Amino acid sequence: MITENNKMVDLVHKNYVLISVFSRFGISLGFGDKTIREVCEEKKIDLQFFLEIVNSFLDHDYFPREQLKSFPIRLIVDYLTKTHHEYLEITIPEIERVISGREGICYEDKEHNFLLNTFFQEYKDELIAHIKREDEQVFPYALEIEQCYLQKKPAETLPDTFRDYTISRYLQEHDDIEEKLFDLKNIIIKYLPPPKNPRLCYQVIVLLFNLEKDMNDHSRIEEKVFVPKVAMMEKVIGRNNSRQ
């Protein structure tokens, strides 16, 4: 388990994928021998929140649901939003370059390139729609609920746009965005022939595995931390969860 006195550099040695988690907190490399506590103080990051996110990322058995739920929605939403941003602005374009860029994977048979491309574009559109709904609808709703909850205002004071929304509806509609990613991996590993530039396949597989791991972690926070927390606040301010 990671504690505040561990050095940042040791975290990276433990699992370098954490570097992308750091960036969501505004931490970049070059931290010398600084400990987690020092870096968090410097960057004004909530130390406990950072620790829980890192620990649950490293070890899925370590999932401090109750602790994570104690953090304000604002913090959780901020982390999730930054993750979305990273997916759309960095990770997906990175994968796209290798899959369909000029210098990307190239098959003998043009049809194979076309199939891979189309499948990836479809995945990308789905992901964009998924994220858009969370950023523009679900998260603002959750923040409003938190305001009501903190200021002890009744549910009737919610803005009109959110009158009929409930977090249980979000949970019902929350589709599994990792499924297509899973397929994409197998299509490249199992079903397409070897491309003319096999090294690129290796590159894209690494990117896909990392993204999948990260997305599993992300969805888990959404469903197991974010949703229960909002549902609890809905209840307190007197919103009936069964109303659809």
Residues that bind Fe ion (CB under 5 A): 134, 222
- In the numeric block, which tokens belong to residue 34? 């600084």
> Which tokens in the block code for residue 94?
């990175």
The amino acid sitting at 55 is N
Phi, psi of 35 (to 5 degrees): -85, 170
Q: Using an 8 Å Cβ cutoff, are 77 and 99 in contact?
A: no
Tokens, residue 225 = 């931390």
Q: Are 14 and 44 in contact, with CB atoms under 8 Å apart?
A: no
Maximum C-alpha span of the chain: 65
Shortest separation between residue 165's beta carbon and other proteins, angstroms: 28
Minimum distance from residue 194 beta carbon to other proteins (Å): 14
The answer to whether 141 and 216 are in contact (CB under 8 A) is: no
Q: Which is nearer to Fe ion, 9 or 75 (CB)?
A: 75
Residues in contact with other proteins, counted by CB under 8 A, come to a total of 15
* β-strand partners of 7: 35
Q: Choose among other proteins, Fe ion, none what residue 122 binds, the Cβ cut-off being 5 to 8 Å by kind.
A: other proteins
Cβ nearer to Fe ion, comparing 118 with 216: 216
* Residue position matching structure tokens 């959110």: 162
Pick from 62, 182, 202, 209 the residue near other proteins by CB under 8 A.
Answer: 182
Residue whose token pair is 């890192």: 54
**Token code pair at residue 221:** 């926070």
> With binding defined as CB under 8 A, does residue 216 bind other proteins?
no
Asked whether 211 and 95 are in contact (CB, 8 A), the reply is yes
Sketch the per residue contact string, 107 through 136, with other proteins: x for CB under 8 A, - otherwise: ----xx--x---x--x--------------
Q: Which helix (H) or strand (E) holds 21?
A: helix 18-24
Please, what is the minimum distance in Å from the beta carbon of residue 238 to other proteins?
Answer: 40
Q: Does 202 bind other proteins (CB under 8 A)?
A: no
Burial of residue 128 (CB within 10 Å: 0-12, 13-18, 19+) is middle
Does residue 201 belong to the site contacting other proteins (CB under 8 A)? no
Q: C-beta of 184: minimal distance to Fe ion in Å?
A: 18
- The answer to whether residue 186 forms part of the interface with other proteins (CB under 8 A) is yes
Binding segment (CB under 8 A) for other proteins, from list 82-90, 160-168, 175-183, 199-207: 175-183
CB of 51 to other proteins, least distance (A): 23
Q: Which of residues 46-75 bind other proteins (CB under 8 A)?
A: none
Write down the least CB distance from residue 190 to other proteins, Å. 7
Q: Which residues of this protein are in contact with other proteins, per CB under 8 A? A: 111-112, 115, 119, 122, 179-180, 182-184, 186-187, 190-192
